[in-house]
Structure 1
């Protein structure tokens, strides 16, 4: 199922929406985080179609998102270069996801500093074995192809890194693709948990470094790394790189670690 089928009911007008094709994007009892974020992003884009490129976002995963939802979007402030938009997904009990989007036009640069390349470059996707074949949640099996982005069988601490691409191009614009794919990896905390147990993303904040990214063959190197794990919560750093090793997304996430 294409992501377009999931997004088709979103008109940009506030009100109830039924996501007819949600089942292929589920992660347990909720819509996969990247897909639910994309629903809220698409609502903002279709409500206000003349926005400049997305530069940053703050997303709160409040409650499970199912197929019966209500969508809202509003411009919080619109300046000469920067427009800030809030969009929300609601279920029958209240807010399920709240998102704050920062759109901004390009400016004449006053200094330049490229992002650092990834450490221990793993080689291109076709140089690495397939990962999670026949395993993982529904949304992975139905929509993504994964390959290892770090040597298999070695200790990489609290870092998970994989090459990922959508199994269908979905005709998504570059930023929508980054929103959909940016949360595809499980938290790095899974690598250092003392015992298996459920995990749940609480929020996700990210900066878009290249809103025009078109990585070769749709592959992106996705890396999640726990920066601190204690008291049942992990602070995670999320990065995405294109096939040439250029960072395109930089994010942070708080994850609840149960069990």
Structure 2
């Protein structure tokens, strides 16, 4: 099943969704996909006109592939402009992912501050792509294409504080509109920015993740390449603190991200 098919599966029946093993990341399902599925269940409970402003995501435990997941949603508060929503992914009676989301309608304001310019990067065709290689790269990378423009690839001994490049869904025969759910996958597709510092393979994973969406969203399709850059702010004792952002092909800021990652090396 492709990304759009899994989003539709949550809309059709949020109480019994199985993620195929082709979306695996080690022994777990790809975290960006799991977060996107929880978000899709949450969005269905929010009134129209209240786009997602921010999500706080905690990966409590691994979501196993090919095992049914139930997505539960509680609307914590619905004010005049803002809805506060809590979503959970539950597998075998255990919570595997929690997402707390804020959805808010726009309002008139005298404050208007433009985003800083996107970083300069080599063109897509000039950047090296991380290929999908069975039994070597994570299974889910068959669905997502990443081309490096900043820093190094994982386990190359590159000490740069930044990492990233161009990203999009792979092999899109037809263009579909990009939603916040797609951006969750595009941002989380990238490995933890601390892994290039290592010279040999070691596991790493996100513990917590907050992401903020710039509204109104730019009109993009799944065939567009977006630019991602992560910057390590601090790393020690097996944990890294990483700030990142995602931009459109024309340099419009799309999302701001921050992750705490655990690394076992």
Q: TM-score range by the shorter chain?
A: 0.7 to 0.9
The 1:256–1:93 alpha-carbon spacing in structure 2 relative to 1, beyond 3 Å, is farther
Which of 202, 205, 216 does residue 200 from structure 1 map onto?
Answer: 205
Tell me by how many angstroms 1:13 deviates. 6.7
Q: Please tell me whether residue 62 in structure 1 is matched to residue 60 in structure 2.
A: yes
Q: Distance in 2 between matches of 1:239 and 1:232?
A: 23
From 165, 168, 171, the counterpart of 1:165: 168
Aligned equivalents of 1:68, 1:218: Cα separation in 2? 32
Unaligned runs of 5+ in 2: none
Equivalent position of 1:186 in the other structure: 191
Shift of 1:218: 1.5
Question: What is residue 18 of structure 1 aligned with on the other side?
Answer: 17
Contact 1:12 1:45 in 2 (8 A): no
Matched residue SS, 1:218? coil
Q: Which residue of 2 aligns with 1:5?
A: 5
Residues 1-259 of structure 1 correspond to what in structure 2 (within 5 A)?
Answer: 1-11=1-11, 16-19=15-18, 21-48=19-46, 50=48, 52-66=50-64, 67-119=67-119, 121-126=120-125, 128-135=126-133, 136-141=137-142, 143-150=143-150, 157-167=160-170, 168=172, 171-193=176-198, 196-215=201-220, 217-259=223-265
Q: Which structure 1 residue ranges, 5 or more long, are not aligned? A: none
Contact between 1:207 and 1:249, CA under 8 Å: does it hold in 2? yes
Q: Cα offset for 1:230?
A: 0.4
* Alpha-carbon distance, 1:194 to partner: 6.5
| CA shift in 2, pair 1:207/1:151, >3 Å | closer
TM-score normalised by L of structure 2: 0.86
Q: 1:248 to 1:186 in 2, by over 3 A?
A: same
Distance 2:175 2:68 in 1: 23
Compute the displacement of 1:23 (Å): 2.0
Residues 132-184 of structure 1 deviation map (CA, whole Å, 9 limit, x = unaligned): 1234211112x122223238799671211120111226735422221221211
Contact 2:74 2:86 in 1 (8 A): yes
Distance 1:13 1:83 in 2: 23
CA RMSD of superposed structures (Å): 2.5
Give the secondary structure class of the aligned counterpart of 2:211: strand
SS class of match (2:69): strand
Q: Structure 1 CA distance, aligned partners of 2:152 and 2:60?
A: 35
TM-score in terms of structure 1 length: 0.88
- In structure 2, how many angstroms separate the alpha carbons of the residues matched to 1:37 and 1:234? 20
Q: Distance in 2 between matches of 1:12 and 1:80?
A: 29
Provide the rounded CA distance (Å) in 2 between the counterparts of 1:234 and 1:27. 19
Aligned-pair distance for 1:46? Answer: 2.4
Q: Does the aligned pair in 1 maintain the 2:144–2:168 contact within 8 Å? A: yes
